[in-house]
């Protein structure tokens, strides 16, 4: 893993609890996560769908594993 490795978005969330749960799932698998636009949800939560939501980002080398974990642990209504 390179120090300057590219970050990729593996999921987008429109509410904070779902974002926090997904981030916790990845962190428990030792995948470092980063949030893009997290404060936009706090500032204008009910406009989050217009603003693009919170993007959950990981290093490119972790992206495939991250997506697999999120798919395995997603609630049934998100599949």
Q: What is the CATH classification number for the domain harbouring 33?
A: 3.30.70
Task: Give the tokens for residue 11.
Answer: 């999921």
Report pLDDT for 10. 96
Task: Give the tokens for residue 26.
Answer: 């990845």
Query: Is residue 58 one of the residues assigned to a domain?
Result: yes
Query: Is residue 1 one of the residues assigned to a domain?
Result: no
Boundaries of domain holding 50: 7-78
pLDDT tens readout for residues 10-62:
999 888 888 999 999 999 999 999 988 765 656 655 555 556 788 999 999 99
The pTM of this model reads 0.76
Q: How far apart are CA 30 and CA 17, in angstroms?
A: 20
Confidence band of 69 (pLDDT split at 50, 70, 90): very high
What is the per-residue DSSP string for 12-75?
Answer: EESSHHHHHHHHHHHHHTT--EEEESHHHHHHSGGGHHHHT-EEEEEEGGGHHHHHHHHHHHS-
Report pLDDT for 79. 45
Domain count for the chain: 1
Is residue 64 pLDDT above 90, yes or no? Answer: yes
């Amino acid at each position: 893993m390179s120090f300057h490795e590219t970050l990729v978005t593996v999921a987008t969330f429109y509410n904070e609890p779902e974002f926090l749960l997904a981030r916790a799932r990845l962190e428990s698998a030792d995948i470092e996560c980063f949030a893009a636009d997290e404060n936009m949800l706090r500032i204008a939560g009910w406009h989050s769908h217009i603003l693009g939501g919170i993007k959950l980002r990981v290093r490119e080398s972790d992206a495939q594993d991250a997506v697999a974990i999120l798919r395995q642990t997603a609630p049934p209504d998100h599949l």
